[in-house]
Amino acid sequence: MSALRLNSLEISAVISSLLYTILLSYESIWSWLFAILASILFSILCFRRKIYAELALQAFYLATAVYGYLNWGAEFKTLPPLDLNYHLYIVAACVLLIGISGYALSHFTDSKLPYLDSFTTISSIAATILMVNFYPENWIYWIVIDTVSIWLYFQRGLKLSALLFLIYTLLSINGYLLWSGALS
């Protein structure tokens, strides 16, 4: 694929992703349509750049976008924060799965950054489950994930996507403030 076509694909994926995140942080059901489009576009990019765990994550995002849309209900309503013990279980499970995934990617694929790729993927699954079920602390997970993703995408030559994750980090801070009621 030519650099221009790949760049156009990346630009479209970035714009769709930004619209999704902005609309979701401001509690718009239309966010899910942009999530579907972004997942499809990023799937193509990840495949071409050999970011395989992220590719699998895009399939997960596609399914959760449909779930998020169907789970929306008549009005948007966040849930109370989870107990700290739940977060400890989530983090422990993520660490275990990151180790397994990183090992598998490093030994059975040509993945360039297997453990970092696994970290962003496994952690994103946990954050997405919290997000589609409307727990406000999902945004805290995203702040960490998005910060790490900046470096991952930059290392794979996807500079526009790295910029996207910088913007995501800022939007995640805004999302947390909005969903937790700190800006009310």
What digits encode the pLDDT tens for the residues 32-68?
Answer: 999 999 999 999 988 888 777 778 889 999 999 989 8
The rounded distance, in Å, linking the Cα atoms of 70 and 67 is: 5
**What amino acid is encoded at 27 in this protein?**
E
Q: Do residues 115 and 147 lie in contact, with contact meaning Cβ atoms separated by under 8 Å?
A: no
- The one-letter code for the residue type at 148 is V
Q: What is the pLDDT of residues 108-138, one digit of tens each?
A: 988 888 999 899 989 999 999 999 888 999 9
